[in-house]
Structure 1
Amino acid sequence: MSVAAATPPVLEARGLVRSFGGVRAVDGVSLAVRAGELLALIGPNGAGKTTCFNLIGGQLRPEAGTVRLAGADITGLPPPRVFRAGVGRTFQITATFGSMTVRENVQMALLSHARRLFGLWRPARERMRREAEALLARVGMAEQAERACGVLAYGDLKRVELAIALAGAPRLLLMDEPTAGMAPAERGALMALVVRLARESGIAVLFTEHDMDVVFGHADRVVVLDRGRVLAEGTPEAVRADPRVRAAYLGWISV
């Protein structure tokens, strides 16, 4: 399924700049992602991918440029406000409460989004139980709802983390190395799930990834960063064939 170019972008970042110690880690980066679209942000280590993510997610404030979510300016807002504005995020290293059950982890995310963590009149485990179970069903983890996260296989933890990110009903989902540490079969299954959820719910997805099979197999478009700048942008096929990408990354990217 292609995403119409005329569709207004959910995420629109323009002219982002951020320096560290005199080095511009991000130098005028612009990108846009539309509802239901998967955009891959790729490049070698040090290209500026994580800094871009942190500028969009609020962990860093840009020195220049703007970030707009569904037309609203969220530039420089702190992460909690970015989250409540409709931006979900998963990380390269999963972050769940190992002693809590799968369902309880998702319930905590739902309660946080609803601002109901304090002043509870009944145990948290009874609140938003059905909503948590519905999210787990969407990511294929309903049958493991009562298991502790600490005993789950890594691929299942990634699915739980995805359910936690969906608890905030995001319009934009940022995924930092979503398949890192996973077996090849698990990678394909997870990304197929992400594609389905994005299409069904109209979620815009921006993800970084070092596995080029994942990128070229699942992204609708690809942005290539080189030393903090956009080197190339387009469909996976166009980026793979781009002579600039071949020249810069010969041996890093299969052509």
Structure 2
Amino acid sequence: MGGAGVVNVLEVKGLTKSYGGVRALEGASFSIGAGELLALIGPNGAGKSTCFNIVNGQLRPDRGSVCLAGRDVTGLPPRRMARLGVGRTFQIAAVFDSMTVLENVQTALLAARRAVFGMWRAAAGMEREDALVLLEQTGMAQHAHRPAGELAYGDVKRLELAMAMAGNPKLLLMDEPTAGMAAAERLALIDLVKRLTRSRGLAVLFTEHSMDVVFGHADRVVVLARGQIIADGSVEAVRSDPQVRALYLGTGSVTGERS
């Protein structure tokens, strides 16, 4: 979190959202600084998806604000958020199976830089070098000329990460980044994310059910329950918090693999 005089990359204040008579989120406030990996956790129905989608611009809060690098961006649509430096990956990876790995990243770069072209043939040479750099950074350079549809699932997630980085984001939002992955794969992916977070000065907000990922890699953890934040602190502080332990008792361990 930012100290005195430091502008956080992301700051949310008092986010509240209701669906009919159901209060999904109530007064949620937290911030993320550059180079910080923040996990947003909680049981099903806690309000994680609502909070995540408000930050991304898919939902408008009933009350509260979202600030990106000191700018109020509350309610701006995802396309505008992307232009301002917000990248996102999804629980189900979204890549173009018929394109090569390199072409996928080139396409993401072209979109991020608002390039206009009529046919892929004309654009095939554009952004090539920058795309190869991103593939190198995500461990995917050796697969550059393979069709994305041939990749193993863990490599698809790495490709999606490279595409999310194409816009040179300040803030990266990751929705269940390791869902469906084996233990070794998910730890390798989140370790890669943490290295990119440090080297690029990114702020990363991710939701995650795998507690080995959360407590093994996050810098800070925010815990939601029934739409309210009940804990916000270091891994050690949250892991030992009595409310958090009581919340997970019977549904999984806060030190276990799943919750």
TM norm. shorter chain > 0.5: yes
Please show how residues 1-255 of structure 1 align to structure 2 within 5 Å. Answer: 5-6=3-4, 7-118=6-117, 123-251=122-250, 252-254=252-254
Q: Return 5+ residue gaps in structure 2 as ranges.
A: none
The CA distance in 2 between the partners of 1:127 and 1:120, in whole Å, is 12
> What is the rounded CA distance, in whole Å, between the counterparts of 2:16 and 2:119 in structure 1?
43
RMSD: 1.5
Unpaired runs of at least 5, structure 1: none
User: Residue 38 of structure 2 contacts residue 206 of structure 2 at CA under 8 Å; is this kept in 1?
Assistant: yes
- Secondary structure at the residue paired with 1:100? coil
SS at match of 1:67: strand
Aligned amino acid, residue 35 of structure 2: G
Letter in 1 for 2:164: A
Counterpart CA distance in 2 for 1:164 and 1:179 is 16
How far did 1:117 drift?
3.2
What's the offset of the Cα at 1:188? 1.1
SS of the residue 2:35 aligns to = coil
Change in Cα spacing, 1:105 to 1:121, as seen in structure 2 (3 Å) is closer
TM-score by length of 1: 0.96
2:2·2:32 contact (CA, 8 Å) conserved in 1?
A: no
Distance apart, 1:22 and its partner CA:
1.6
C-alpha offsets along residues 218-240 of structure 1, whole Å, 9 cap, x if unaligned?
00000000011101111111111
Distance apart, 1:126 and its partner CA? 1.3
Following the alignment from structure 1 to structure 2, what is the Cα–Cα distance between the partners of residues 190 and 16? 30
Report how many residues are paired: 253
Q: Cα offset for 1:157?
A: 0.4
Deviation at 1:141, TM superposition (A): 0.2
Select between 5-14 and 206-215 the one with higher mean Cα deviation: 5-14
Q: Which runs of 4+ in 1 moved over 2 A?
A: 3-8, 117-122, 251-255
Whole-Å separation in 2 of the counterparts to 1:20 and 1:118: 42
Distance 2:148 2:118 in 1: 26
Per-residue deviation, 1:21? 2.2
